[in-house]
């Protein structure tokens, strides 16, 4: 089976590499090929240098700026992405079976290709872009852009895959479309054959994510000031210097690691007992299920996308945003070794069962087969 994979707007393999996610994405492509002989042709917003990132038999790259003169203009890039499907239609017509869009911001390229090539369209979204635009406080025009784009995607796609049950409910209730197209496929984690709860850092809290308001990292600093806990955050963003200053003002020992590759991140989880995710809102947070899959005790804020993963006091901890909530749970865990052991073991077992890469790849391959059969 041959899949034409479309990345999100302005994403490239270079962007994936800088963000530390390239290894993760390539791992999934390799899994689909080894288990099910699924080959990928990947459309990116990169240039000819993209070819340096991949050299194997099951991935072919289609960098947009190998065909057009590169531009930093968002508007011009958007226009070129609309033209692009017409430039490659002859090359792709008999060489692909299905089109997959990864994230809503790649949808228009997929929709156009699906129409002109008469190929099935599979759209996967890690989070609902329209809902996030509201929570991010985007202006009316941007909110309407994502609303209309979501609506068009739901109309023209054959499958619309979401990673959280919360998004599933929101989309099913918000839009009028053929509900049979909507499916729930959560994020995945690599196989973890065992975990070791010994020799973990018990006094440094680990957190991972973009250094932006959504992630609410200041909350952790507020909670652990005047305690003997330190904080390590893996991530980068516009609030980096502000967070450093805020931690210093509150006498909290903060370490920020701006870049780390995916395999190094997976090893990092093994070094820490506590992983904290205090976000105001999320999709289906990969870092949360990765940490749990490595046997970390995960403490996460009380939002629906966290509570569908964590059962409080069973496989993790759910805290609210009130003062002392997180700190009280940390103190409780520190005093109760049996609770710590049970939560860590339950998190490890349940997460590796529900979110395994094997299960994700099998489900996606079955989805591909079904939609290709219906369209033939």
CATH of the domain at 36: 3.40.50.2000
Phi, psi (rounded to 5 degrees) for 301: -65, 155
Mind listing the pLDDT tens digit for each residue in 302-348? 999 999 999 999 999 999 999 999 999 999 999 999 999 999 999 99
Nearest-angstrom CA–CA distance, 220 and 367: 40
How would you label 143-179 residue by residue, b for 16+ Cβ within 10 Å and e otherwise? bebbbebbeebbebbbbbbbbbbbbbebbeeebebee
pLDDT for residue 167: 96
Q: Are strands 2-6 and 159-162 parallel, antiparallel or unpaired?
A: unpaired
Residue 368 is assigned to a structural domain of this protein: yes
- Residues 6 or more apart from 294 whose CB is under 8 A from it? 192, 195, 266, 269, 270, 348
pLDDT surpasses 80 at 173? yes
Q: Is-contact 44 13, C-beta < 8 A?
A: yes
Q: Which tens digits make up the pLDDT trace of 113-165?
A: 999 999 999 999 999 999 999 999 999 999 999 999 999 999 999 999 999 99
Q: Clarify whether residues 36 and 84 are in a common domain.
A: yes
Is residue 250 domain-shared with residue 232, that is, in the same domain? yes
Average pLDDT over residues 1-19: 94
Are 104 and 239 in a shared domain? no
Are 67 and 95 part of one and the same domain? yes
Is the CB of residue 42 less than 8 Å from the CB of residue 12?
A: no
192: CB partners within 8 A, 6+ apart: 293, 294, 295, 348, 352
Cα separation values, 281 from 135, 257, 328, Å: 8, 23, 22
As a whole number, mean pLDDT of residues 357-369 equals: 97
d(CA 215, CA 235): 11
Pairing of strands 254-257, 317-319: unpaired
38 and 133: one domain?
yes
Indicate if 286 and 361 belong to the same structural domain.
Answer: no
Same domain as 290, residue 170: no
Total domain count for the chain? 2
Over pLDDT 90: what percentage of the chain? Answer: 93
CA-wise closest residue to 156 among 202, 199, 119, 196: 119
Residue-wise pLDDT tens digits, 38-49 = 999 999 999 999
Is residue 120 within 8 Å of 114, Cβ to Cβ? yes
Instruction: State the average pLDDT over residues 12-34.
Output: 94
Query: Is 285 in the same domain as 303?
Result: yes
Task: Place 198 in a pLDDT band, splitting at 50, 70 and 90.
Answer: confident
- Over range 248-273, report the average pLDDT: 95
Q: What is the extent of the structural domain holding 332?
A: 204-354
Looking at the structure, do residues 249 and 361 belong to the same domain, yes or no? Answer: no
Contact 235, 208 (CB under 8 A): yes
| pLDDT attached to residue 197 | 79
Q: Same domain, yes or no, for 47 and 131?
A: yes
The neighbour count for residue 60, using CB atoms within 10 Å, is 16
The DSSP line for 254-291 is EEEE----HHHHHHHHTTBSEEEE--S--SS-HHHHHH
Query: pLDDT tier at 374 (50, 70, 90 boundaries)?
Result: confident
Say whether both 53 and 13 belong to one domain: yes
Write down the pLDDT at residue 195.
81
Q: How far apart are CA 189 and CA 266, in angstroms?
A: 10
């Amino acid at each position: 089976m041959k899949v034409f994979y479309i990345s999100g707007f302005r994403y490239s393999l270079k962007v994936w590499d800088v963000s530390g996610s390239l290894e993760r994405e390539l791992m999934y492509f390799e899994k689909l090929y080894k288990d099910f002989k699924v080959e990928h042709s990947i459309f990116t917003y990169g240039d000819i240098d993209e070819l340096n990132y991949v050299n194997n038999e099951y991935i072919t790259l289609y960098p947009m700026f190998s065909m057009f003169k590169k531009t930093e203009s968002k508007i011009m890039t958007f226009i070129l992405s609309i033209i692009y499907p017409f430039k490659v239609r002859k090359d792709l017509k008999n060489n692909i079976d299905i089109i997959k869009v990864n994230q809503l911001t790649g949808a228009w390229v997929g929709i156009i290709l699906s129409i002109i090539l008469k190929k099935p369209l599979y759209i996967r979204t890690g989070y609902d872009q329209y809902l996030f635009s509201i929570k991010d406080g985007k202006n009316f025009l941007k909110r309407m852009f994502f609303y209309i784009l979501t609506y068009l995607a739901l109309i023209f796609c054959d499958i619309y895959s979401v990673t959280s049950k919360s998004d599933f409910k929101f989309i099913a209730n918000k839009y009028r479309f053929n509900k049979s197209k909507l499916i729930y496929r959560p994020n995945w984690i690599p196989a973890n054959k065992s975990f070791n709860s010994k020799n973990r850092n018990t006094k440094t809290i680990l957190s991972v994510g973009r250094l932006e308001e959504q992630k609410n990292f200041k909350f952790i600093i507020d909670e652990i000031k005047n305690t003997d806990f330190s904080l390590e955050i893996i991530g980068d963003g516009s609030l980096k210097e502000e967070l450093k200053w805020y931690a210093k003002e509150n006498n909290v020992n903060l370490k920020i690691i701006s870049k780390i590759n995916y395999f190094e991140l997976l090893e990092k989880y093994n070094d820490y007992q506590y992983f904290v995710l205090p976000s105001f809102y999320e999709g289906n947070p990969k870092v949360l299920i990765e940490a749990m899959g490595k046997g970390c005790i995960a403490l996460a804020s009380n939002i629906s996308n966290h509570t569908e993963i964590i059962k409080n006091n069973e496989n993790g901890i759910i805290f609210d945003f009130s003062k002392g909530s997180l700190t009280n749970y940390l103190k409780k865990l520190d005093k109760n070794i049996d609770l710590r052991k049970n939560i860590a073991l339950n998190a490890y077992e349940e997460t590796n069962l529900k979110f395994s890469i094997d299960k994700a790849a099998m489900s996606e391959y079955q989805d591909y087969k079904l939609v290709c059969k219906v369209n033939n």
